[in-house]
């Protein structure tokens, strides 16, 4: 009878259409597997439970005694991204929902304290010192980013990941996208929260990105697909917004990678800091210009009067995923990002992605060993094939292939779809609204098992960032009130 109930729960889990329903069935399955016993016991070889236990005891005691100077001192000293190895993914491979109760209690206590310090006047902490405390602690703790890979039509999966994170208020403000991921990042980054519903259902998207050229046009343009159709698709769905205008509208920090055709240029990360006046659709078109499918393109920006003009007119750009599918280092330099949530849909990468939900063991070790060896030998073969070749189309293609094989394609949390042969056969070509919604649902379902881990790894950093925003508003409101009093 129990086996039948479990089988029914598994089916309900797989068929869930929202996170609340999925979580209910997942919690029931955890209870049937006695996971509550494991969660209640704080001991684990995967983190320093004594350190977390003692810190929690201290924080609660100081709060009860209203010892705010000691609390603030302890928070400033002890808030680090991976304190006591709390970010270890092994802690989330035992149960379907959550991890040790001690970890949940500690994170809840820390975020509660931070919010209290932010929102209440504390005699021992003047406003200027309070703002400095949050800024310095936030800088030390770091930020999270969502990175969206390339993947042609498989990239629609990203929208489901975004929907799941947004509904749980876990969507980072910093978002990067390459190739197909750049289109999804741009769709998100040019819309406010109240405009996202139609994006998630597909009602506000025109699905007409692809148009195959005739034989003569293919020879003339040296590509298979019509880049003019791609431009129309992007202009229709993104409008004529620059990166700076998009940031001011949504406060989301979107970043798009592009790769240069010229050998002595470097891959670029386009955003409101590096290219504020660049048109977002133009950046996406360059990032989506996969060599062979689309020709290299120029970038377009707005001048001081709002008129379109070429950006670095002598340089042409192509697919951002070639050299920088996941621009982790550049995001770190620009935004202090040290935690990466990756939605990975690159067709050539998916066969090599390791299932993070699997526990460590010989089976996983041998699988990773074989996959690593295949990647390493592939890189050697490509480099050998390019040996001795002078600059030219073949040399450039082989160099690009080496860059693709040589990149790191996963993050602290990696979310990816389960795909089959039919998905590879339909990786190009316009999709129907039903196909789009199916990909969105697949993205949501792949994200739900990671929600607890993402929340635990990001909520402290998000709270620090939110507190800084609230304190700045308090400062502006106080300044406005003082100004009104002076005028009265």
Residues designated catalytic: 179, 319
Tell me how far CA of residue 156 lies from CA of 34, 274, 433, 442, 444, in angstroms. Answer: 37, 27, 11, 9, 11
**CA dihedral in degrees (319, 315, 294, 349; nearest 10)?**
-10
- Tokens at residue 269, please? 């990360």
Q: Which of 452, 447, 440 is nearest to 197 (CA)?
A: 440
As beta bridge partners, residue 301 has 278, 309
Region of 169 please: left (phi>0), alpha (psi -120 to 50) or beta.
Answer: left
- As a residue count, the chain comes to 488
Neighbours of 34 (CB within 10 A): 9
The CA-to-CA distance between both ends of the chain, in Å, stands at 77
Residue indicated by tokens 């621009």: 327
- Tokens at residue 168, please? 């749980």
What CA–CA distance (Å, rounded) separates 187 from 466?
24
What CA–CA distance (Å, rounded) separates 453 from 446?
13
What CA–CA distance (Å, rounded) separates 173 from 247?
10
Residue 317 host element (H or E):
strand 317-319
DSSP structure string for 215-268: HHHHHHHTSSB-HHHHHHHHHHHH-S-BHHHHHHHH--EEEEEEEESSTTS--E
Name every residue whose Cβ is closer than 8 Å to that of residue 74 and which is 6 or more positions away in sequence.
55, 58, 59, 62
Longest CA–CA span in the chain (Å) reads 81
Residue indicated by tokens 């791609």: 230
- Tokens at residue 176, please? 């990067």
Q: Residue 263 burial (CB < 10 Å; 0-12/13-18/19+)?
A: exposed
Which letter, b or e, does each residue of 451-483 get, where b requires 16 or more Cβ atoms within 10 Å of its Cβ? bbbbbbbbbbbbbbbbbbeebeeeeeeeeeeee
- Tokens at residue 240, please? 């004529």
- Tokens at residue 315, please? 């340089």
What CA–CA distance (Å, rounded) separates 55 from 80?
13
As beta bridge partners, residue 339 has 144
């Amino acid at each position: 009878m129990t086996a039948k109930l479990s089988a029914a729960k598994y089916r309900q889990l797989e068929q869930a259409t929202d996170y609340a329903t999925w979580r209910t069935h997942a919690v029931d399955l955890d209870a049937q597997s006695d996971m509550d016993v494991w969660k209640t016991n704080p001991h684990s070889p995967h983190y320093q439970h004594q350190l977390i236990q003692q810190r929690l005891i201290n924080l609660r005691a100081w709060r009860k005694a209203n010892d705010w100077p000691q609390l603030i001192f302890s928070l400033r000293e002890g808030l680090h991204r991976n304190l006591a190895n709390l970010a270890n993914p092994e802690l989330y491979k035992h149960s379907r929902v959550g991890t040790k109760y001690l970890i949940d209690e500690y994170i809840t206590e820390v975020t509660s304290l931070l919010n209290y310090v932010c929102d209440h006047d504390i005699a021992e902490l003047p406003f200027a010192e309070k703002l400095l405390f949050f800024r310095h602690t936030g800088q030390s703790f770091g930020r999270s980013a969502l990175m969206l890979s390339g993947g042609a039509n498989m990239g629609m999966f990203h929208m489901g990941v975004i929907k799941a994170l947004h509904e749980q208020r876990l969507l980072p403000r910093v978002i990067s996208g390459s190739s197909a991921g750049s289109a999804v990042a741009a769709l998100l980054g040019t819309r406010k929260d109240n405009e996202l519903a139609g994006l998630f259902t597909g009602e506000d998207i025109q699905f007409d990105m692809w148009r195959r050229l005739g034989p003569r046009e293919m020879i003339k343009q040296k590509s298979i697909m019509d880049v003019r159709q791609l431009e129309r698709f992007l202009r229709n769905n993104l409008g004529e917004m620059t990166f700076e205008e998009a940031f001011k509208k949504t406060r989301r920090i979107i970043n798009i990678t592009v790769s240069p055709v010229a050998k002595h240029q470097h891959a670029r990360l386009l955003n409101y800091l590096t290219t504020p006046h660049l048109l977002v659709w133009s950046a996406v078109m360059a990032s989506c210009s996969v060599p062979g499918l689309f020709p290299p393109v120029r970038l377009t920006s707005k001048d001081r009067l709002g008129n379109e003009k070429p950006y670095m007119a002598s340089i042409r750009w192509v697919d951002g995923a070639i050299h920088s599918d996941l621009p982790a280092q550049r995001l770190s330099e620009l935004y202090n990002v040290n935690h990466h949530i990756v939605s990975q849909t690159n067709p050539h990468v998916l066969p090599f992605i390791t299932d993070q939900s699997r526990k460590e063991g010989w089976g996983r070790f041998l699988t990773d060993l074989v996959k690593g060896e295949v990647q390493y030998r592939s890189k050697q073969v490509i480099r050998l094939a390019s040996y001795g070749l002078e600059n030219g189309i073949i040399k450039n293609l082989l160099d690009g292939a080496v860059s693709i094989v040589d990149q790191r394609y996963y993050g602290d949390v990696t979310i990816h779809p389960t795909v089959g042969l039919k998905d590879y056969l339909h990786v190009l070509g316009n999709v129907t609204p039903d196909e789009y919604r199916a990909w969105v649902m697949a993205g949501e379902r792949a994200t739900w098992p990671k929600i607890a881990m993402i929340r635990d790894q990001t909520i402290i950093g998000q709270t620090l960032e939110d507190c800084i925003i609230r304190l700045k508003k308090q400062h502006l409101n106080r300044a406005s009130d003082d100004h009104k009093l002076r005028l009265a």
